[in-house]
Amino acid sequence: MKITQFALPTVALGIAAVLVCPKDSVAFSTIGGSLSLNQRDVRVFNNFTDTAANNNTTADANWPGYTGAPMSIWKGCGEWASELHGGTGAGDPLQTVGSGGANFDITWQGLAAGVGGTNDNIHSELSGSSGGVLAFTETPISDGWRIRYYSSWTWQDGPGSVSGGIDLQGVACHEFGHALGLGHSTDGAATMFPSISGTGTGQRSIAADDIAGVQFIYGVKSGSKPRITAVNNSNPLTITGTGFSATNNEVWFTNGSTSPTSGDPRVIVTGVSSTGGTSITVNVPATSGKGDVLVKNSAGSAGANLSNAFPVDPTAPPACIPPTVYCTGKVNSQFCSPAIGSTGTPTYAGTTSFNITGTQFLNNKNGLLFYGLLPNGASFQGGHLCVKLPVVRTSVQTSGGSPSGADCTGTYSYDFEALIVGGTDPNLIPGQMVYTQYWARDPADFTGFNTSLSEGLSFEICP
């Protein structure tokens, strides 16, 4: 049996006292400090030189988008999560992943472009050796961490049992324990025990003493902690769970590209509302990719405000500029400001629907949508003309709404996709920007023009 030393964190432990929990029944220690929410990103610079470190090419739906060393390290760090990854912890033949039960979750951010600095939260190989040391974690953790694996060992990416080398996932799990604030444990069963026997696959799964350690630092998982139980893997993405705030949630996605070594790699959508605290619908950002999604509620910035990480493999966002509202609507005689919006995506191939809506218009009045190929903002009929001439008028519609009286219940909807796929307008081809606005009747218009005007809506025709 070969006994191999893990490394201590290279900084501080030789100087700072290691705090041992006073209870006799626990054996973990801490190095001082904890990771704030913006230091819980995990990335890999995949410079591992052993073929065995990247010979697992089998994709797993619970760890989407990554194989080899990155997937192995992702699982190793994810073991410390608040609950089973993806609901089942599936994806590793030797264990279920996600056993921490604390107010602590990582956010997987994919690949980095280099080894980064000592606080850039990146795993990578380091050329050379250091006696029996396998790997080490650079601290202090207050502003981040870095984990290095010596190239002198033969690193194995698993995913099952390994032979003839060292288990990357097990060592990643141990080293990330340091990154989150744990020192070594005297419990021989713990992942944080300072040495391993055999290949180290036993370190993949954290033990009761490790769980006590992460819960000591971050607290036992709060009952109000947001929780993701399902995602629908489409775009827009629907996230189902509990504990979301009514408004101003943040949705964190995995960065879809190899990110620069410095700076925050996270892709975050802010200001997201939920329905009943249990359902969120959000457009998938173009810069995100396969990986995990998390929700941070608006109640604070502690670990108890960030959900578990849930695997997501969203439909690729369209490679075109999404519909955007611009220009100012004209206040009508009922003191409403007519708005414009849309549902769906304008595609040349006709793979989706795309409807442009007008709301807050007077009820039971004629109106129409017009469009052109250039934006405008000139004064027009007491409001603004949001589209530059020449414009194309679509067919006249009636706004409907309340059967009598005058209010702002009038709405319009136009199936713009039919114009694109039908070839009705040969200008509407992929890559073309289009600018649209609703115009309607308003007999009591304060400005005397008998008209009502919405905001403008711009969008690009997708392939």
Nearer to Zn ion, 141 or 293 (CB): 141
313 CB burial (10 A radius; 0-12, 13-18, 19+): middle
Question: Does 244 sit near Zn ion (CB under 5 A)?
Answer: no
What minimum distance in Å lies between the beta carbon of 16 and Zn ion? 15
User: Cβ of residue 194: shortest distance to Zn ion, in angstroms?
Assistant: 6
20/373 with CB nearer Zn ion: 20
6 binds Zn ion (CB under 5 A): yes
Cα distances from 363 to residues 244, 332, 338, 428, 450, in angstroms, run 36, 12, 12, 31, 14
Stretch that binds Zn ion, among 1-9, 200-208, 325-333, 450-458 (CB under 5 A): 1-9
**Closest separation in Å from C-beta 303 to Zn ion:** 23
* Identity of the residue, 137 or 235, whose beta carbon is nearer to Zn ion in the bound complex: 137
d(CA 79, CA 89) in angstroms, rounded, equals 9
Stretch that binds Zn ion, among 6-14, 105-113, 267-275, 384-392 (CB under 5 A): 6-14
Rounded least distance, CB 6 to Zn ion, Å? 4
Distance CA 4, CA 236 (A): 48
Stretch that binds Zn ion, among 5-13, 217-225, 233-241, 293-301 (CB under 5 A): 5-13
Nearer to Zn ion, 129 or 270 (CB): 129
Q: Which residue is nearest to Zn ion (CB)?
A: 6
- Cα–Cα distance measured from residue 15 to residue 322, given in angstroms and rounded to the nearest whole number: 54
Q: Of 191 and 452, which CB lies nearer to Zn ion in the complex structure? A: 191
- Smallest CA-to-CA distance from 339 within 322, 360, 356 is with 360
**Strands, DSSP E only, in 353-395?**
354-361, 366-372, 375-380, 383-387, 392-393
Tokens of 150: 């010596």
CB of 184 to Zn ion, least distance (A): 6
Q: Smallest distance, Å, CB 178 to Zn ion?
A: 6
Q: What is the CA radius of gyration of the chain?
A: 28
Q: What is the DSSP letter of 213?
A: H
Shortest distance (Å) from residue 193 CB to Zn ion: 9
Return left, alpha or beta for 381; rule: phi > 0 is left, psi -120 to 50 is alpha, else beta.
left
**Span from 3-11, 61-69, 314-322, 342-350 in contact with Zn ion (CB under 5 A):** 3-11
Q: In the complex, which residues of this chain contact Zn ion (CB under 5 A)?
A: 6
